[in-house]
Structure 1
Amino acid sequence: MIEVNIPDVLAEVTAAFERYEVALVRNDVAVLDELFWDSPHTLRYGATENLYGIDEIRAFRAARPSAGLARTLGRTVITTYGRAFATANTEFHRTGSDRTGRQSQTWMLTPEGWRVVAAHVSFLA
């Protein structure tokens, strides 16, 4: 049976998720790139783009505008499964917009630490 939300694992993933969020709103591309698994198997479905592999994700991040990234999170749910796999899901709102955004991340423990292996960002209509 897989243990869910082992306290120390949940704390590690929560810290990695929070580090990602700070890097996202500051547009700290180096940290964002670090926290995605350096693999051609990594994918990110964005609000307007589908990115396959770390090279496409890095190119997107390098070209993305750095303005208007601040947001408020709500209903964040982080769940760990065993000691090497986790999901993080959150809703978000950007200043000046009434749309609700959603972000899902799948995290995996690698020799380098916790890394996002798949992500999806979308908005409710």
Structure 2
Amino acid sequence: MELDNPSVIAEARAVFDRYEDALMNNRTEILNEIFWADPRTVRFGITEILYGIEAIRGFRASVKAYAQRVQRKVHITSFGQDFACTHLEYERVGTGLIGRETKIMVRLPDLGWRVVSAHVSLLAGQDPGRN
């Protein structure tokens, strides 16, 4: 299996950039399109735990506007021709809060690249479980 094929990384980056543009411009229809339309799709957000595309679409329908953010670091790894992970470190505009986002993407027959799992979180000030 080939790791980090430049053409696969470029394809994953194009999906990543399209998603970011849609997020910053409240283009919910594009955000929904990028996610795999399947009950097995998962999205863990800042305040929500969503299993299945219907739950994800329901959440997105409730959002009036997404928090603006500035990318600090993007890291993409590909595994073979059809699997990639994107990782984003970002700063929320106006708050200085640091966030992280991971997307697992798969190239699906007849659909192209789709996000099958995503996790978004904000960096906590402290970890009360760590001594």
Quickly name the TM-score band, shorter chain normalised: over 0.9
The TM-score, its normalising length taken from structure 1, stands at 0.95
The Cα offsets for residues 55-95 of structure 1, whole Å up to 9 and x where unpaired, read as 000000011121x5321011110111000100000111111
Matched, 1:82 2:80: yes
Conserved 8 A contact 1:26-1:69: no
| Structure 1 segment 1-125 matched on structure 2, within 5 A | 2-66=1-65, 69-111=67-109, 112-125=111-124
Aligned residues: 123
Conserved 8 A contact 2:39-2:53: yes
Q: Where do 5+ consecutive residues of structure 2 fail to align? A: 125-131
Structure 1 vs Structure 2 CA RMSD = 0.9
Percent identity reads 45
SS in structure 2 of the partner of residue 20 of structure 1? helix
Deviation at 1:3, TM superposition (A): 0.6
The TM-score, its normalising length taken from structure 2, stands at 0.91
Q: Where do 5+ consecutive residues of structure 1 fail to align? A: none
**Alpha-carbon separation, structure 1, partners of 2:34 and 2:10:** 16
